[in-house]
Chains A and B, each alone.
Chain A
Amino acid sequence: MVVLKGYGMLRHSRTIMRTAHGRIIQRASKYRIVHDVDLYRMFRIENATQPDVRVFRTESARDGITMNSRGLRSQLKDSVPVAGLCPQGAYGIQDCLRSGFSSVKNELLPSHPLELSEKNFQPNKDKMNFSTLRNIQGLHAPLKLQMEYRAARQIQRLPFLPSSNLALDTLRGNDESIGFEDILCDPAQSEMMGEPHLMVEYNLGLL
Chain B
Amino acid sequence: MALSNVLHAPAAGFNFDHAARNAELEGLFDAQIPKPVKTGTTIAGVVFKDGVVLGADTRATSSEIVADKMCSKIHYIAPNIYCCGAGTAADTEKTTELLSSNLTIFSLNSGRNPRVVMAVNILQEMLYRYHGQIGASLILGGVDCTGNHLYTVGPYGSVNTMPYLAMGSGDLAALGILEDGYKPDLELDKAKELVRAAIHAGVMNDLASGNNIDICVLTREGVDHIRPYQVSQYKDKRKTKYKYGAGTTAVLTEKVVPVKLEVVEETVQRMDTA
Contact = CB atoms under 8 A, between A and B. Distances in A.
A27 B16 CA distance: 24
A6 interface: no
A185 B4 contact: no
A199 B102 CA distance: 36
B9 A190 contact: yes
21 contacts: A64-B23, A64-B24, A65-B23, A88-B8, A91-B4, A92-B3, A100-B21, A106-B20, A110-B16, A111-B23, A112-B19, A118-B14, A176-B106, A179-B98, A180-B14, A181-B11, A182-B12, A183-B98, A184-B12, A190-B9, A207-B3
Nearest to B17: A99
A181 B13 contact: yes
A121 B129 CA distance: 9
Interface of B: 1-17, 19-21, 23-24, 27, 98, 101-102, 105-106, 109, 126, 129-131, 133
B106 A91 contact: no
A186 interface: yes
A185 B16 CA distance: 11
Interface residues of A, number: 47
A63 B25 CA distance: 10
Given A90-B5, A91-B3, A181 B12 contact: yes
A193 B23 CA distance: 30
A183 B131 CA distance: 20
Cβ-closest 8 pairs across A and B: A194-B7, A181-B13, A111-B20, A112-B19, A181-B12, A111-B19, A90-B4, A65-B23
A25 to B, nearest CB: 16
A110 B14 CA distance: 14
A136 to B, nearest CB: 21
B52 to A, nearest CB: 26
B189 to A, nearest CB: 39
B13 to A, nearest CB: 4
Given A90-B3, A114-B131, A198-B6, A178 B13 contact: no
Given A65-B20, A178-B101, A202 B3 contact: yes
Contacts of A193: 7
Interface string A115-134: 10111010000000000000
Interface centre among B13, B24, B129, B130 (most CB of A within 10 A): B13
Among B1, B20, B98, B102, the most chain A Cβ lie within 10 Å of the Cβ of B20
Given A64-B24, A118-B13, A181-B13, A202 B19 contact: no
Contact of A84 (B8, B98, B126): B8
B19 A119 contact: no
A144 interface: no
Nearest to A121: B129
A160 to B, nearest CB: 7
A102 B142 CA distance: 51
Interface in A64-92: 64-65, 84-86, 88, 90-92
A46 B4 CA distance: 39
Contacts of B24: 62, 64
Given A178-B102, A181-B13, A92 B131 contact: no
A112 B133 CA distance: 11
A49 interface: no
Contacts of A91: 2-4
Q: Among the interface residues B1, B3, B126, which one has the most CB atoms of the partner chain A within 10 A?
A: B3
A192 interface: yes
Contacts of A117: 129, 131
Contacts of A195: 5, 7
